[in-house]
Amino acid sequence: MFMHNKRLMYTVRVGTPDPRMANLILEQFGGADGELAAAMRYFTQGLGEIDPGRKDLLLDIATEELSHLEVVGSIVVMLNKGVKAQINEGAEQAELLANITGGTDSHTTALLYGGGPSLTNSAGVPWTAAYVDSRGEPSADFRSNIAAEARAKIIYERLINLCDDPGVNDALGFLMTREIAHQKSFEKALYAMEANFPPGKLPGQKEFTNTYFNMSQGEGDMRGPWNQGEQWEFVEDRERQAAVDGGDGSATVKLSRKDQSLEKKLAQRTASDPDSDPTTGAELGAAGGEMPD
């Protein structure tokens, strides 16, 4: 059950309207790493969570993300305030065009949504539930949540670097900081589960769990804690990187007699003639009847 409080979680003070900046900030409204995606990710996880502590954490943060969505949307509306009036009341054409264009899709946002927030990213791509990558396994989902908060923080940093409005940057700084707090909470919750790695229930195969295959060889090869030390077996021999199960490295399947017969007929019907040299349509269409060098 939700109750809406008309007071924003953080005060929005926009110095000067700027529809181009508004369009960029839409990334955190309807983008992949935005507040709506976060709210839906944690809300759906929280509904399905059976641990009371994690359930409470997820629903708390999901609800806070909705309040962040309101703050971001309010910033977008305030940055578009002048354009909203101009486009609806018919301002002078040259002035209006100058205000809503400038290297971004801000003109699309203004025309389609009248200066209001839209559930799109900064490139106008509609929000999609595909942004919600929950799997219903907390040892996997909480790792994804930590990464999601990290990505959102980076986007806020970039927006702050692009914005010269102190009031807007103040609100963006708050939102960025809350990403840090959430990341900490998710990490604490992850490690509060003693059996959290590897994710899920099944252990890995012992012969491959601590093996590092050096598949990209040449200049730039590096060794570090990710591939060296007592726990790692470092394999760079190309022969040892193929058919690591000890088999012949081929793909086989057991077919019924009927399917074997059909497979043989299919192979015969579609067999290639290695001695043929058919004339192709491309050759017929070439100048002078010959393919260019």
Token couple for 87: 């486009």
Which residue segment(s) compose the domain that 231 sits in?
206-240
pLDDT (average), residues 215-231: 94
Closest CA to 190 of 256, 145, 245: 145
Q: Is residue 272 part of a domain?
A: no
Contact between 176 and 28 (Cβ < 8 Å): no
Question: Are 58 and 127 in a shared domain?
Answer: yes
CATH number at residue 166: 1.20.1260.10
Of 112, 115, 152, which Cα lies nearest the Cα of 27?
A: 152
Same-domain status, 148 and 227: no
Contacts of 253 (CB under 8 A, 6+ apart): none
For the whole prediction, is pTM greater than 0.85? no
* Tally of domains in the chain: 2
- Rounded CA-CA distance 167/75 in Å is 10
Q: What is the pLDDT of residues 268-293, one digit of tens each?
A: 999 999 999 998 888 888 756 565 55
Give yes or no: residues 213 and 180 share one domain.
Answer: no
- In this structure, the answer to whether residues 88 and 160 fall within a common structural domain is yes
The pLDDT tens digits of the residues spanning 100-145 come to: 555 445 555 655 667 788 899 988 899 999 999 999 999 999 999 9
Give pLDDT, residue 230: 94
Q: pLDDT value at position 212?
A: 95
| Listed residue (282, 24, 43) closest to 168, CA to CA | 24
In a domain, 144, yes or no: yes
Assess whether 82 and 163 both reside in one domain.
Answer: yes
- Identify the weakest region by mean pLDDT among 15-24, 83-92, 128-137, 279-288: 83-92
pLDDT digits (tens, 9 = 90+) for 178-195: 999 999 999 999 999 998
187 and 220 both lie in a single domain: no
Q: Say if 92 falls within a structural domain.
A: yes
Do 158 and 234 share a structural domain?
Answer: no
The single-letter DSSP state of residue 277 is: -
* Contact between residue 71 and residue 12 where contact means Cβ atoms under 8 Å apart: yes
